[in-house]
Amino acid sequence: MSYQTVDVRPIAGALGAELAGVDLSQDLDNEVLSDIHQAFLDHLVIFFRDQHITPDQHKALGRRFGTLNIHPFVQGMEGHPEIVEVIREPGEAFNWGGSWHTDVTFLEKPALGSILYARAVPPHAGDTIWANMYLAYEALSDGMKAMLGSLRAVHGSGAPTRFSEHYKSMHLKETEGAIESIHPVVRTHPETGRKLLFVNSGFTKRFEDMTVEESRPLLDFLFRHQQRPEFSCRFRWRKDSIAFWDNRATHHLAIADFHGGAGGQTDVRRVMHRVTIDGDRPV
């Protein structure tokens, strides 16, 4: 793929690329925005280094791709309800996003994507891994594809307290309770037309018209399959780095490796700001 205004450097064979020559604090013209959007579709997760953006600029960037989601359970940043502050304090044993998942698939219209900005990070540790769900689908046998093509699955948020009970920085909104939605197991990407596997261990509970127990063997196989290393890329965060991923076609995992090890002290405060872009109902 040829890009006219940005330098696109893939970081792995499966997905992921760093984009250079872009200052995201500026008002991007349509040509630059078009190249960023194309790189986003081509590589599924794109990264920018050495960016210096305010909360308003962060939101403005997200709005160039759609309306911004306000998380149904977690309070946003003061004065900026569209920005979720993902904060890990020293000594916390858990890391928000520390299991494989796709964001907010319990919603009727799951996210198009998210833009995550590193405000403070340890000198090492806390990398994030993404995986390509086109490849996960395409690697399945024809028989498995045929069977999954007719299935739909129930995605549930679980109790709202799951978003705060392990994380000191997460402040819950008053809410009526859990949210569930039903989505196709095999989804067609609305922009590329490619088929992809659309279940995830974070929120997919069971298949429609089946019990949790009946669904578990096949779901467990699919979850393991999605996590195969040949489908993935790994990104090492630095302060002022940004990741923008296609939530429709990727999974991700925030690695919780902050404690001990031979590399020195990593148990320090980590602060990330995230905006999430609304998507469409999966088909």
User: Is 63 inside a domain boundary?
Assistant: no
pLDDT at 2 over 60: yes
Angstrom distance (rounded) from CA 243 to CA 160: 26
User: Is 32 inside a domain boundary?
Assistant: no
User: Is 84 inside a domain boundary?
Assistant: yes
Q: In this structure, are strands 113-120 and 270-277 parallel, antiparallel, or unpaired?
A: antiparallel
Tally the domains of the chain.
1
Model pLDDT, residue 171: 73
pLDDT band at 22 (very low <50, low <70, confident <90, very high): very high
User: Is 168 inside a domain boundary?
Assistant: yes
pLDDT at 162 over 80: no
Is residue 30 classed as helix, strand or coil in its secondary structure?
helix
Angstrom distance (rounded) from CA 96 to CA 23: 28
Residues with a catalytic annotation lie at: 101, 103, 252, 274
For 282, phi then psi, to 5°, come to -65, 145
User: Is 8 inside a domain boundary?
Assistant: no
pLDDT digits (tens, 9 = 90+) for 107-120: 999 999 999 999 99
Angstrom distance (rounded) from CA 273 to CA 188: 29
Angstrom distance (rounded) from CA 238 to CA 265: 16
pLDDT digits (tens, 9 = 90+) for 56-101: 999 999 999 999 999 998 889 999 999 999 988 887 777 788 889 9
Residues in the chain: 283
Terminal Cα-to-Cα distance of the chain (whole angstroms) = 27
The helix or strand, by DSSP H or E, that contains position 276, with its residue range, turns out to be strand 270-277
User: Is 4 inside a domain boundary?
Assistant: no
CATH, residue 257: 3.60.130.10
Q: Decide if 222 contacts 235 (C-beta within 8 A).
A: no
User: Is 58 inside a domain boundary?
Assistant: no
Q: Decide if 51 contacts 242 (C-beta within 8 A).
A: yes
Model pLDDT, residue 222: 98
Q: Which residue has the tokens 């250079």?
A: 20
User: Is 83 inside a domain boundary?
Assistant: yes
| Segments forming the whole domain that contains residue 132 | 69-237+246-277
